[in-house]
Amino acid sequence: MNNNEYHMYVYDMPYATRRALCGILDINNTWEELAGVYMCFDVGSVQRLGQAILRNQSPTDELLTLWGTQNHTVLELFILLSQMQHYQAMRVLKDYVDPKYRQLIREGEENFSRLFRKPEAENLVDLSKNDDAALENNMKYGAHNFNQPKNLREPQKVLFRANEAFAQPTIPKRAVDVGNGHIARRLSDESNGNIGENSSPMISYSELEVATGNWDKKKLLGKGGFGTVYKGLWNLTDVAVKRLEVQKEGDDSEEIWRTHREQSLRELKYLNSRRHDNILPLYGFSIGGPYDCLVYQYMPNGSLEDRLLCRDPNKPPLSWLQRHNIATGTARGLQFLHRVGSKPLVHGDIKSANILLDSNLEPKIGDFGLAREGPLEQYTHVKVSRVHGTRPYLPDEFLRGKKFSTKVDTFSFGIVLFELATGLRAYDDSRHFKFLKDEVEAAVDDNFSELQDVKAGPDSTLVFPRLIELGKKCVASKAKDRPEMVDALGHLVAATHIREPPVSLNERNPFQTDREQDFLPALAALGISQSTGQVVADIPLISALGIKSQGSTSSSD
């Protein structure tokens, strides 16, 4: 392994390793010391975790699940076990930490055995005084100093911090100095920051039972392989509650359960860290009850797929203006995911079913269970071991070559644009061309109008050809030929203005939404006039999208 391969998050720990660790820490309830003293969970939190035994579950496993939601690493866990002097548990994890830290096991065991050969009374410290200064003066804490007596592992009077908030455990500030300053600093910094101000709260399972009317079937919004989604009322707020409930049947049931739980934790992680107007808001989560749950903002207009297929007869078809706004908002959310942070976050499962619509038909990207970090800027892609997602929305280089990049999302977005333009399914076994991409590409330019969704009404603003044209760019066979999502967003925003007649600065463009008003400075940076919508500069980004100077567009528009 190289250094990057040793950087493993707790939630990525192999199943066999995690199970072995749980078996060790469950014995004699050793996990309680880890949770209360070293991870600093409060008394109530530890008691709730302990109830896992009543459900024939492992308390250690639920502890690791909860701690893992805060992006802690296996190395951090290894260090805490070193502080506990739990060398048996450390040996289980040693293959997943850098070799330079493995000496903590050997040196710790040697020093620990030396302690019993030559007990030194002067090293004893009276913890009952509860004096940190005395501790510091009498004991040197470090990676290579384990000469404290055994009773230091049992500070009974300081087991828990009763005022700590649940779901905000910390690493003690006196982090072990493991001979690498940045690790110790990171442990201390993360203890101060916890999960940060953007953290979603932990919600008790009983609260969600009340919110959903004890999981009333009348409140059922949807059901899938992951479990069920219910509408609920929590804190006088409409919410959607996703309850993870994979059926535990068959030889591989445990692995399936674990996979779905990991996806839920990944979704929790990314929805906590990537907040945006076009990303589905996560209100909270519940871990430790009979089922794990995620609580989202309720989307009264359902999914884009439902609206395009007119599944609710009480809701009118989407107009062309609404479809353009949905495409623009989705692009805005995706480019945010791709551009925020040191590495891009690739959603990996963009499709109309995962684009949800709020009361104003503003799109929100949901279902981050398959999201992964993409390559650093200097690389075009990363290789993955398994392919996940929905086949009609995925490009060949990912399906066959397992090459994962932001261009996977771009391709998926292109298929969504085709759905918006045609109102057709991404895959339909009854069509001659089963895949919508093939259906669109097979159409001759002159016959594109035959694909136009008549349910949307007259297309006076020429949204249909723009959606088709941008969609074709996004589904290019070669990843390098597809635009980045920020460029696709620029194209959609520019299209808002180019086809409209000139207006004065005091006159509002009827095609322009409130959100696009905020985008005018960016349009200026792209070389697009705010008053006329004409392209007034040859910007490479605009040229690459087929938009020419003097306000004209590519011949395919």
The two beta strands, 382-383 and 372-373, are unpaired
* Nearest Cα residue to 268 out of 220, 329, 203, 318: 203
Q: Is 252 a catalytic residue?
A: no
DSSP code for 442: H
Q: Tell how many helices (H) and how many strands (E) occur in the chain.
A: 22, 11
> In 3D, which of 3, 9, 172, 179 has the Cα closest to residue 80?
172
The CB density around residue 93, as the number of other CB atoms within 10 Å, is 22
322-331 residues labelled b (16+ CB within 10 A) or e (exposed): bbbbbbbbbb
Which one of the listed residues 42, 292, 349, 367 is annotated catalytic?
349
Q: Tell me how far apart the alpha carbons of residues 304 and 283 are, in angstroms, rounded to a whole number.
A: 22
Looking at residue 556, the DSSP 8-state letter turns out to be T
Pairing assessment for the beta strands 293-297 and 282-286 based on DSSP bridges: antiparallel
Tokens of 304: 């884009």
Q: Which two tokens stand for residue 229?
A: 């989604």
Q: What single DSSP character describes residue 501?
A: P
The answer on whether 242 is annotated among ligand-binding residues is: yes
Contact 235, 284 (CB under 8 A): no
Residues near 474 by beta carbon (within 8 Å), at least 6 away in sequence: 410, 411, 413, 414, 417, 482, 483, 488
Could you tell me if residue 288 is left (phi over 0), alpha (psi between -120 and 50 degrees) or otherwise beta?
A: left
| Nearest alpha-carbon partner for 170 in 187, 153, 157, 147 | 187
**Three-state DSSP state, 34:** helix
Helix (H) or strand (E) holding 463: helix 463-474
How many of the other CB atoms lie within 10 Å of CB of 459?
A: 20
| Chain-centroid distance, C-alpha 215 | 26
With tokens 């070193």, the residue in question is 82
Annotated binding site: 242
- Which residues are designated catalytic? 349
Residues in the annotated binding site for ATP: 242
